[in-house]
Structure 1
Amino acid sequence: MIVKIAYRSVNAVVKTINFLSEVLTTLICGIATSTLSVSNALAENGPLFSVSEIAVPAVDGAREPSLATMADGRALLTWTEPLGQDFAVKVAISDGTEWGAAQTVVAGNDLFVNWADFPSAIALSDGTLVAHWLQINGEAYYQYDTKIALSKDYGRTWSEPFILHDDRSQREHGFVTLLPTDVDAFTAIWLDGRYYDAYGPQEVAENAMQLRARRITSGGDVSEETLLDMRTCTCCQTSAVVANNNDILAVYRDRSIDEIRDISIVRSGPVGWSTPKTVSFDGWQIEGCPVNGPAIDAADGQVVVAWFTAAHDIPKVKVAFSSDDGHTFGTAFEISGSAPSGRVDALQQPDGTSLVTWVEQTPKGETLQICLVDPKAGCKHPQVLAANPRGRTVGFPRMARVGQGAVVAWAEPSSRPPTHPEGGTTVRTVLVQLKGLN
């Protein structure tokens, strides 16, 4: 069952989707830099990871966190919080011990605030911060543009925003990945709805969301758009990484004419973007969007992709590893328990292991799981990072590398009731480290 809920708060529109409630929920990720043999020895004596709280400089009602690692090794956090009857997008920077002062990127009564499609920010090597958010451009559901702004002073002031995409139609443009690709440039990858529901019933192949990309410099130079895939899943997050050979690897949930929605990968190299390639054929046939995108990460030629599937009505979190910069992947395998709901994240380690997070459903609610996954041994010692009561969600947790650990961010229940027009959540962050290395 697919349920769409939208409500209008005096001056601000907040839209929330709940899809496949028994199959999907949430996830998150952390990091470590050790071998699996060390982790096995540690796990025998208790939890594998140490977890340290980092207080977030956000107000009650904060939601939808996103994280990125800066070029200097610090973490950059983005979130949305209520501001009177409006909303504001905020950023803060941390060295892994505490967050600096919150800085406002944008505030207004026309922000599109959504649990699955939300703002993010990255840092370029030249010190420029880049942020994106969603701005309503129509009266119907899911009519919004993606706006971009840049900061040269670590978020204290921001440039005049501009629209990421050329299309100006009142349709959906979102699920953005921002990826630093040069000292002074980044690549943006997004789902574009300019042709969604624009064709007749005999032209269904083109009647879908598209995957598009473009390169933008910190000086404001914008390249032409590139169409990467003309038919993708409607509302699953995208993910991208720069491989060791400097190719860009982007993963997303694809959509065939027969409604097979497996994970595909495209790469950008010296000759441009490749054609899409399936990471692993699951054969998940589903006529609605599961709101559950993949995650990709890379380190020293090693690449990991993690994703959720419910092919044949069996929910699983799966991973696949590559040892050749993502040109080929080994056989995918399952790492989850009996009731996963996906929303994964992953961090590839130089030793070949990967830290993966996902959410499992329990009779009492949901648990946020983290595990150090080995390409051969799989996930042996999953650890619970957080637990939320039934009816509450951690959203789409995110992570970023910091030193020998990772900052992990997710949403938790706050003092506000869940029916409050400004939400009943707060943002929580922790530093996760492998015991024995911190």
Structure 2
Amino acid sequence: MLRSAFVSIVTAFVLIATSSFVAAEPLQFVILDPPVGLDPQEPTLFALNDGRVVMSWTEPDGDGFVVKMTVGNFSGWTEARTIVRSNDLFINWADFPSIAAFPDGTLAAHWLQEDGDGPFAYDVNIALSADEGRTWSAPIVPHQDGTQSQHGFATLMPITENALISVWLDARAYKKDLFSDPASELPDAMQLRATQLTSDGILSEDILLDAQTCSCCQTSATVLSDGDVLVAYRDRTDTEIRDISVVRLEDGQWSKPSIVHKDNWKISGCPVNGPAIDALGETAVVAWYTAANDTPAVKVAFSKNGGRYFDAPMRIDLGEAAGRVDALMLNEQTALITWVEWQEAGEVIFACQARIGEPCGQQQTITVNTGAGSVNFPRMVQTSDGVYLAWTQPAIEGSEQQNHKATVRVIFARF
């Protein structure tokens, strides 16, 4: 059985949090059973103020797809509730829907809706729910350009009691010369853009944050204790250097982009491998994948001054990194990082606790995937009780799901 096989290979850790230390001890995660249907994929998680989590995912639905959600915790889940059902959803393994919650309890979910005949003509759609997903508002499109072009890799991040920011990659200027060097041979430029949305559906101006970014890496955002916002993404230069940058929202103004670290990864195509950022107090952490100098690696860098400057990065992988990172600050000294790596046994989800100035003491195996598919982009979230981790689990031969393509796996480790 898949469950027993999974339990036998899971290694986890107790997270004993104090103001300055997090200890790691071996422990098996609790395996949870969310109410997913047949062949679900790409789960995302968000922590609610009451200690529960909300999860969204995508399932096939006739000739189309449906985006669903549930609310729950280690004790159980609500029934699956439909966010949107359509034959025109844009479905992609790396660019997928998400869900978030305003502090006032309003849920916000985003998905991608096809718009036009082009293979990458799609829009970000956001809907709101005031009743935990039982009903949803009409979709709101955060970008206001009206072009039939790519709009995706969005992040929703609540920043006040009744407002969130939405950031996304935007192709409105694709194949237009926006590069700083007029003689550049690069034919196109993706943009990073942002807007704010209130819980009653009021949309602010669509703002340009960076006119020249990598085209298909996930974005990530976090809020500092002073209310400032940090957004991490993969940048792009005229010479095809694609390292990780951050921009900062402070007193209502966005900063210019700044590089987290100069890996100097030169690559002529998008690696489809975005960074993850999180913060606690004034400490921020960024995790990312790079293959600079033909060396695939997962790196972590801390900032002790709210993301204005990052320390030298630490490499945490075991040598065969595939990336697809996530990051959580456990306290102001320690971050929990997950990533995917190829090992002889298969595709492995690893986790470790990195401390400021100290690399991971031990890389711990979460699961080894031997199915005919990928775990794609595992996602974490932290509550007052512990850590939840979810991913797409391909069917494994001999398992109870072997007649289907995949399921969603969710696990929990209590503090």
Shift of 1:199: 4.3
Which residue of 2 is the match for residue 299 of structure 1? 280
Of the candidates 55, 60, 67, which is equivalent to residue 89 of structure 1? 67
SS in structure 2 opposite 1:163? coil
How do 1:36-435 and structure 2 match up within 5 A? 39=23, 42=25, 47=26, 49-199=27-177, 202=183, 207-270=188-251, 272-389=253-370, 391-414=372-395, 424-433=405-414
Shift of 1:355: 0.3
User: How far apart in 2 are the matches of 1:93 and 1:373?
Assistant: 30
Conservation of the 8 A alpha-carbon contact between 2:191 and 2:209: yes
Distance 1:82 1:295, change over 3 A: same
Which residue of 1 is the match for residue 4 of structure 2? none
Conservation of the 8 A alpha-carbon contact between 2:372 and 2:396: no
SS in structure 1 opposite 2:293? helix
Shift of 1:372: 1.1
User: How far apart in 2 are the matches of 1:237 and 1:38?
Assistant: 29
Shift of 1:74: 1.6
User: How far apart in 1 are the matches of 2:283 and 2:125?
Assistant: 33
User: How far apart in 2 are the matches of 1:412 and 1:69?
Assistant: 22
Unaligned runs of 5+ in 2: 1-11
Conservation of the 8 A alpha-carbon contact between 2:382 and 2:388: yes
Shift of 1:412: 0.7
User: How far apart in 2 are the matches of 1:232 and 1:347?
Assistant: 25
Give the AA of the match of 1:34. Answer: A
Conservation of the 8 A alpha-carbon contact between 2:372 and 2:394: no
Conservation of the 8 A alpha-carbon contact between 2:15 and 2:23: no
Conservation of the 8 A alpha-carbon contact between 1:255 and 1:261: yes
Shift of 1:322: 1.1
Distance 1:267 1:163, change over 3 A: same
User: How far apart in 1 are the matches of 2:371 and 2:344?
Assistant: 8
User: How far apart in 2 are the matches of 1:144 and 1:423?
Assistant: 28
Shift of 1:363: 2.6
Which residue of 2 is the match for residue 34 of structure 1? 17
Distance 1:141 1:245, change over 3 A: same
Shift of 1:98: 2.1
% identity of equivalent residues: 44
User: How far apart in 2 are the matches of 1:271 and 1:223?
Assistant: 12
Q: Deviations over 1:135-171 (max 9, x none)?
A: 1112222110111110010000000112121122221
Shift of 1:38: 5.8
Q: Calculate the TM-score normalised by the size of structure 1.
A: 0.86
Conservation of the 8 A alpha-carbon contact between 1:54 and 1:99: no
Shift of 1:31: 8.9
Shift of 1:314: 0.3
User: How far apart in 1 are the matches of 2:337 and 2:14?
Assistant: 8
Shift of 1:72: 2.4
User: How far apart in 1 are the matches of 2:343 and 2:154?
Assistant: 31
Q: Calculate the TM-score normalised by the size of structure 2.
A: 0.91
Conservation of the 8 A alpha-carbon contact between 2:21 and 2:333: no
Distance 1:323 1:96, change over 3 A: farther
Q: Which has the higher contact order (CA 8 A, sep 6+)?
A: 1
SS in structure 2 opposite 1:345? strand
Shift of 1:252: 0.1
Q: Return 205-214 or 375-384, whichever deviates more.
A: 205-214
Distance 1:39 1:387, change over 3 A: same
Distance 1:34 1:244, change over 3 A: same
SS in structure 2 opposite 1:133? strand
SS in structure 2 opposite 1:349? strand
User: How far apart in 1 are the matches of 2:164 and 2:304?
Assistant: 25
SS in structure 1 opposite 2:17? coil
SS in structure 2 opposite 1:393? coil
Question: Size of the alignment, in residue pairs?
Answer: 396
SS in structure 2 opposite 1:312? helix
Shift of 1:204: 5.5
SS in structure 2 opposite 1:198? coil
User: How far apart in 1 are the matches of 2:260 and 2:244?
Assistant: 6
Shift of 1:350: 1.9
Q: Deviations over 1:10-50 (max 9, x none)?
A: xxxxxxxxxxxxxxxxxxx999353696635x3xxxx2x43
User: How far apart in 2 are the matches of 1:415 and 1:321?
Assistant: 38
Q: Deviations over 1:298-357 (max 9, x none)?
A: 112211100000000001100001111111111111011010100000001224100000
Which residue of 2 is the match for residue 25 of structure 1? none
Shift of 1:182: 1.0
Give the AA of the match of 1:105. Answer: I
Conservation of the 8 A alpha-carbon contact between 1:121 and 1:130: yes
SS in structure 2 opposite 1:64? strand
Give the AA of the match of 1:344. Answer: V
